[in-house]
Amino acid sequence: MENQVVQARDLVKKYDSHRAVDGISFDVMRGEAFGLLGPNGAGKSTTMRMIACRSPVTSGTLHVEGFDVEHDARRIRRLIGVVPQENNLDPDITVRQNLIVYARYFQIPPADAARRTDELLDFTGLNDKINARVEEISGGMKRRLMIARALLHNPRLLVLDEPTTGLDPQVRQEIWSRLEELRRTQNLTILLSTHYMDEAEKLCDRLMIIDKGHIQVEGTPRDLVRDKLAAFVLEIRDTGERALISVPASVRAIERGGAHLYFADHHELLTPLMNTYEGQRMLLRPANLEDVFLQFVSDTGNE
Ligand SMILES: Nc1ncnc2c1ncn2[C@@H]1O[C@H](COP(=O)(O)OP(=O)(O)O)[C@@H](O)[C@H]1O
Ligand SMILES: [Mg+2]
C-alpha cells in the first residue's frame, strides 16, 4: 500500500446509463509520472475527477494515498494538487491574489502563503506578472498559474488534466521542463492525461491507453512499442487503390489513412518490401507511441 499513491479496482462511472469509465483497474506508484492517454470522450477527465474527489464513484474502489475517496475526501484533497482540464482561475483579481486566496482554503498561515506564493511564481516564471489581472495574461501563463496554484499546499500527488492542450510548442516545452524539474527535485508523483504522444513519451514513466472507458494497453512507452507492435515500421504514403503486399509472419501489415504500414522487429525484414513500392513516398523508421495509440484506439476519437 505504501508505494501505491492511487489504487483503482474495477472502477466504474456511469452518467445515467452511459458508462464513461467502465471497470478499470490500475496503480500509480510513488514518484512516477503516470499517463492516461486516450481520445476525446475516453474517460480521462472522469477518472481524474473521481481521483480528485470531485465526482462520486459509481462502483468499484478507489484509494488515494491509502484513503478511500468515498470516505476520506477531505484528507485526500489536502494531499493532492489538481489542475483541471479547464482553467478556473479568478479573472478579476491579480495573478498573485489568485494564489493567496487559494491558500486560505488550505488554511496555510498568511506568512507561509506569501512565501510559498512568491516561490511558485518564480518557479513557474510568472515573476513579472504578479500584479497583472488574470484576464490579461496569455493562455500559457494561465496554465502555469494553475500549476503553481495546485502546488501551493505541497501536495504529494499532482493531477494534471491535459496540461498543455491548445498551447504553442514553446509554451508546451516550458511546462514540460517545469514538470520534469518537479519530478527531479521533489518526490512528487504525477498523474497526467493527454492526447499528445510527444507529451506522453517525454513525461511518462508508465501509461495506459484508454478508449470508451476501457483500458486498452498499459506499460512503459518503450515496452508498449516493443511488445505491442514492433521495433520498426515501413510506411508507404499515397498507396491509392493498391492492396497490401502479402508478407511473412514476422511482418505485420496494416492500412491506415491511405498509407500502408509494415511492422517488424528487424529492419532487414522490411527492406525487400521497399523495392515493391519503388517510386513511392516511403519512410523506414522506428515504431513509436503514436503507432501503438492508433492501433489500440478505435476510429478517429471523436465522440
Ligand atoms: N458531467 C457529465 N454528464 C454526462 N456525461 C458526461 C459528463 N462528463 C463526461 N461525460 C461523458 O463521459 C464520457 C467521458 O468523458 P470524459 O471523461 O470527459 O472524457 P475525456 O476526458 O477522455 O475526453 C464522454 O462520453 C462524455 O460525453
Ligand atoms: Mg477530458
13 CB near ligand 1 (under 6 Å) = no
CA 287–ligand 2 middle distance (angstroms): 27
295 CB near ligand 1 (under 6 Å) = no
Please enumerate in sequence order all residues whose Cβ is within 8 A of that of 169, keeping only pairs 6 or more positions apart, or say none: none
The answer to whether the pTM exceeds 0.95 is no
45 CB near ligand 1 (under 6 Å) = yes
Cα–Cα distance measured from residue 121 to residue 246, given in angstroms and rounded to the nearest whole number: 58
Top mutation candidate among 46, 47, 162, 210 for ligand 1, by most atoms within 8 Å of CB: 46
For residue 159, which phi and psi values (nearest 5 degrees)?
-110, 120
For residue 3, give the C-alpha cell: 508505494
20 CB near ligand 1 (under 6 Å) = yes
Cα–Cα distance measured from residue 227 to residue 292, given in angstroms and rounded to the nearest whole number: 10
CA 19–ligand 1 middle distance (angstroms): 9
Return the pLDDT at 153.
95
Residues in the chain: 303
Q: Would you say 52 and 36 are in contact if contact means Cβ atoms under 8 Å apart?
A: no
Which atom of ligand 1 is nearest to 213's Cα? 14
Top mutation candidate among 11, 13, 15, 303 for ligand 1, by most atoms within 8 Å of CB: 15
pLDDT in tens, the chain (303 residues): 469 999 999 999 999 999 999 999 999 999 999 999 999 999 999 999 999 999 999 999 999 999 999 999 999 999 999 999 999 999 999 999 999 999 999 999 999 999 999 999 999 999 999 999 999 999 999 999 999 999 999 999 999 999 999 899 999 999 999 999 998 888 899 999 998 999 999 999 999 999 999 999 999 999 999 888 899 999 999 888 899 999 999 999 999 988 999 999 999 999 999 999 988 999 999 999 999 999 899 755 344
Strand 232-236: give its sheet, edge to edge.
252-256, 259-264, 232-236, 282-286
Cα–Cα distance measured from residue 21 to residue 213, given in angstroms and rounded to the nearest whole number: 4
Q: What are the sequence ranges of the domains in the chain?
A: 4-218, 230-286
Query: What's the CATH architecture for 230-286?
Result: 2-Layer Sandwich (3.30)
Return the pLDDT at 241.
86
Ligand nearest to the Cα of 55, by number:
1
The residue assigned the cell 469509465 is 21
Return the pLDDT at 301.
39
Other C-beta atoms lying within 10 Å of the C-beta of residue 154: 13
Cα–Cα distance measured from residue 118 to residue 264, given in angstroms and rounded to the nearest whole number: 52
> What are the angstrom distances between the C-alpha of 17 and each of 11, 21, 172?
15, 11, 37
Return the pLDDT at 187.
83
Name the percent of the chain in helix, strand, coil, to the closest 5.
Answer: 35, 30, 35
149 CB near ligand 1 (under 6 Å) = no
38 CB near ligand 1 (under 6 Å) = yes
The one-letter amino acid code at 301 reads G
Cα torsion angle, 290, 295, 298, 300, sign: positive
The residues that bridge with 259 in the sheet, in sequence order, are 256
For residue 176, which phi and psi values (nearest 5 degrees)?
-60, -45
Nearest Cα residue to atom 12 of ligand 1: 20
Which residues are found with C-beta within 5 Å of the ion, ligand 2?
A: 44-45, 85
Q: Which CATH number is correct for 4-218, 3.30.390.10, 3.40.50.300, 2.40.50.1040, 2.60.40.10?
A: 3.40.50.300
The one-letter amino acid code at 145 reads L
